[in-house]
């Protein structure tokens, strides 16, 4: 079987998953990658403020069920852009988890146009903020390898934008199917 290059979306989703391995809050290990024109402009992961102890080392600082010690992955990525003088306007955020409402507000204000996420987040207000800000939402759904001959194992991967879906065949072993989230713009 020949080597299959991942699509750009698959590549950046995997980068977000890798960034999540650096997270230092055991309650939610999230990774994020900001991309513009198929180039990474910043990455982020859940972790304590620079110089402060990590949740992994001293425990979480909980308030109303949320860890207050942690700067979220999405915000860390936006702050990296700010520190390095890089605009996030027109970018796509790839993240392991759907943004919380505070991160959603920051993403809208920073000009992020598209969010691709793996896991949903239980805050209905987040999607409303992103939709109001004109942000497109897609869920990256892992494609399972079909049974049978590995050479013949190909799966249709579809980015369905509602009007003009595009599709191509890719090996199923490492793919994601992007599904338009109707909660977005």
Segment 162-176 shows an average pLDDT of 45
Q: How far apart are the first and last CA of the chain?
A: 39
Domain ranges of the chain: 8-180
d(Cα 123, Cα 68) in Å, to the nearest integer? Answer: 17
Given the candidates 3.40.140.10, 3.40.50.1100, 2.30.30.100, 3.30.300.170, the CATH classification of the domain at 8-180 is 3.40.140.10
Residue pointed to by tokens 């409402």: 101
pLDDT above 50: residue 170: no
Instruction: Classify residue 89 by its DSSP letter.
Output: T
As a dihedral over the C-alpha atoms of residue 101, residue 116, residue 55, residue 76, rounded to 10 degrees, the angle is -80
Q: How far apart are CA 60 and CA 112, in angstroms?
A: 29
Rg of the chain in Å (alpha carbons): 17
Query: Of all residues in the chain, what percent carry a pLDDT higher than 90?
Result: 60
| Whole-number pLDDT of residue 96 | 95
* Given 10, 14, 74, 113, the catalytic residue: 74
Higher pLDDT, 1 or 103: 103
Mean pLDDT (the chain) is: 84
pLDDT tens by residue, 23-65: 999 888 999 999 999 999 999 999 999 999 998 899 888 898 8
Mean pLDDT of 73-97: 97
Asked if 116 and 136 count as a contact pair (C-beta separation under 8 A), the reply is no
Active site residue 74: yes
Q: For residue 184, what pLDDT band results from cuts at 50, 70 and 90?
A: confident
pLDDT at residue 150 tops 70: no
Contacts of range 113-122, beta carbons closer than 8 Å, 24 or more positions apart: 114/138, 115/184, 116/9, 116/12, 116/13, 116/92, 116/140, 116/178, 118/13, 118/16, 118/17, 118/142, 121/97
- In the chain, count H helices and then E strands: 5, 12
Q: pLDDT band at 9, cuts 50/70/90?
A: very high
The Cα–Cα gap between 173 and 145 comes to: 5
Bridge partner list, 95: 32, 117
Q: Is the pLDDT of residue 151 over 50?
A: no
């Amino acid at each position: 079987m020949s080597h299959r290059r991942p699509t750009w979306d698959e590549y950046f989703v995997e980068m977000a998953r890798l960034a999540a391995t650096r997270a230092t809050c055991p309650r939610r290990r999230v990774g994020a990658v900001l991309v513009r024109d198929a180039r990474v402009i910043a990455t982020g992961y859940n972790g304590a403020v620079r110089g402060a102890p990590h949740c992994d080392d001293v425990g979480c600082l909980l308030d109303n069920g949320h860890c207050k010690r942690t700067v979220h992955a999405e915000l860390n990525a936006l702050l990296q852009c700010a520190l390095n003088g890089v605009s996030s306007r027109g970018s796509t955020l790839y993240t392991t988890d759907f943004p919380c409402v505070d991160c959603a507000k920051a993403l809208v204000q920073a000009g992020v146009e598209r969010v691709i996420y793996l896991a949903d987040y239980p805050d209905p207000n987040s999607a409303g903020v992103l939709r109001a800000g004109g942000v497109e939402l897609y869920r990256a759904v892992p494609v399972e390898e079909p049974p049978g001959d590995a050479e013949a194992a190909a799966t249709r991967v579809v980015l369905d934008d509602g009007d003009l879906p595009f599709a191509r065949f890719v090996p199923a072993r490492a793919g994601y199917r992007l599904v338009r989230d109707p909660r977005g713009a």
